[in-house]
Structure 1
Amino acid sequence: MKIDCESESPGAFPQIVRVRQHTFRVDVGEITGGTDSAPDPHDYFDSALAACKTTTAIWYARRNAMPLERVEAHVERDDHEERQGKYTLRVRMVFHGPLTEEQRTRLHAAVGKCPIHKLMTTSDVVIEMAPLDPAS
């Protein structure tokens, strides 16, 4: 899979990102010098966790014939120690539907093992940098 990102205009922070047939924008906040015209990279990182948890809940409920009607994930970021290597994401989940307490407990356990949660907490992520020929 390939993701492409490029500046929207010369010398400005806003970026255009393309993933398969999807296009979205990235910017940084005004305090950083951007215009806050789109979520910043941290917002997308945190959003990936929220989306993974909600889609995992739906997948798990379908697979186990649970009456989950709707799910919410609320993520709060605490990045005040990011430069020291600590980045805290507090996640609160809400499962809507006529679920038993046992089903809610099982759903909570399932979303605790979503792929992005595991990637963020148990994987060694290797980023390889290489120059890109500007003519390509």
Structure 2
Amino acid sequence: MAETNTDEVVVAFLKHYYSTFDTNRPGMAQLYRENSMMTFEGQKFKGLQNIVNMFNSLPLPVCHHDISTVDCQPYGPPGGMLAFVTGTLNVPGQEHPLKYSEIFNLIPIQDTFYVLNAILRSNKA
């Protein structure tokens, strides 16, 4: 049962993560730290400011993430999690949603997590 509770906590964090991305892009800064790294479509961004600058420069002013699946496992320091997410990104004006896959290395901090590592790829098939 402990795993189910952990899975629920990770899913809640990821829903918060995508909601923040969709509605409050500057708020993404609270989800990363200076030691974080993000790979976005093959481009690597290291450090909080570089990651925030990347998010703020994306040409997606309005969008909505729908999570399809989340798989997670304990990873890294005690309480850390590795999460693999698949879903769709709905952008107004686009006929079809974009499918994406994303991996997160989540590190516990107080009563939540921060993103140490993330890798995102759209599934262009």
Q: TM-score, normalised to structure 2's length?
A: 0.36
Structure with more helix by fraction: 1
User: RCO (CA 8 Å, sep 6+): is it higher in 1 or 2?
Assistant: 2
Whichever of the two has the greater Rg, that structure is 1
